[in-house]
Amino acid sequence: MAISMAIVTIVLSLGSWSPPPPPPLSNPPPLHPTGRRSSLASWEAFVRRAYDRIYRPFRSRCHADAPALECLEAMYAATEEADAPWWLRTMLRDARHAHAAILHGAWHSLASRRPTGSAVCTIEKVGTTNFRRFMALLQADGARGARGCSARPFASIHSVLAPEEGVAYTGRRRGHDEMIGALHGREGWSTFVFLREPLERFASGFEDKCRRNPAERHCSPLEIFGNGSRSRALRSHTSLRGQLAAYADTFPLSWNLHFFPQALFCDDLGRNLHRYSFVGRMNETFLQQMRHVAAHIDHCASSQAGASDAAMRAYRCVFPVKQDGHATHAKRHVSRMISAFSARRLLEIFSIDYVELELPLPSFLEELPF
């Protein structure tokens, strides 16, 4: 009987046994040196690997002096011979065709002779509407008084430059890219472009075209997202992050010009950004940067033909002083719109912007698990 009780005691003891807890650490190590969930260095390495694996093999097919469309054609042809993500092939497919994306439309390369030669590459969701007004006012020789803040919609580079000036123009689709490219470093001319943080730009485009203004029919593919936030594909997600993630996984089926990488715009910014006279960023200092551009244009005009303030007057018309300087409204909300999963997908797609345009990653990525 005593032996049986001993066996029962041993069995009960074994059944309730658990390993002892580890000794407490006086200073537990952080998850990474900054104490946050991930580091920008990890995301930067991810972006660099994505670019090297996805874009670099195809960008190498572009000759240094090849026009933008010729480069796109070469890249697209290369995807037929090599292993490429499906979305890269659809991107290049749609970038080549004017009816699908109009990536090389006339409004992307604007110019003005007045008060001196200036040209701008405009990119959707990077102040395009304001730049159209600014360049139109310049070409109208500035604005005088409250009634002077109006002009024709925009001044395309082809409508401003005459072919006899020796600036290349070989057709509607190619000409605008080639013409702005020919103005880099040209005496009496300045070229400028503004860029935007890619994830912020994507979130802004999604909020604008898919949630607020789906009737504009820019939330492609329209077969899936034609009704914007009322589309079944988005209604099935209750959170904003879920909706954006669903769109991030699907939008490359049919590319819209509001979501193409910035590196592909105009004369192929990824290869020619260094040739621009001024490269700005659409961030908290956007208005100050634009004021600097206007002052530069007036300074160049004054040195050529006497005092001018036409560019500064156009600036005040388009960018009123009452604006608070926060030109990127989506910036305050982008961190709550993008999950770690959609961040990985979008960073792969827009790795060409981060690497070729040397854009910094947003700091909110440090809050996401890598």
- Does residue 358 have a pLDDT over 80? yes
What does the pLDDT look like over 289-318, one tens digit per residue?
999 999 999 999 988 777 789 999 999 999
Helices (H), the chain: 2-15, 40-50, 56-59, 68-79, 86-96, 128-139, 157-160, 172-183, 198-206, 222-225, 232-235, 240-250, 269-272, 286-305, 310-318, 334-337, 340-349, 351-356
Cβ pair 92, 86 in contact under 8 A: no
Task: Give just the sign of the alpha carbon dihedral 176, 181, 184, 187.
Answer: negative
Cβ pair 285, 279 in contact under 8 A: no
Q: How far apart are CA 236 and CA 246, in angstroms?
A: 10
The average pLDDT across 34-39 equals: 58
pLDDT of residue 50: 97
217 pLDDT band, cuts 50/70/90, is confident
- Does residue 326 have a pLDDT over 90? no
Cβ pair 137, 318 in contact under 8 A: yes
What does the pLDDT look like over 6-15, one tens digit per residue?
444 433 344 4
Tokens of 196: 């935007």
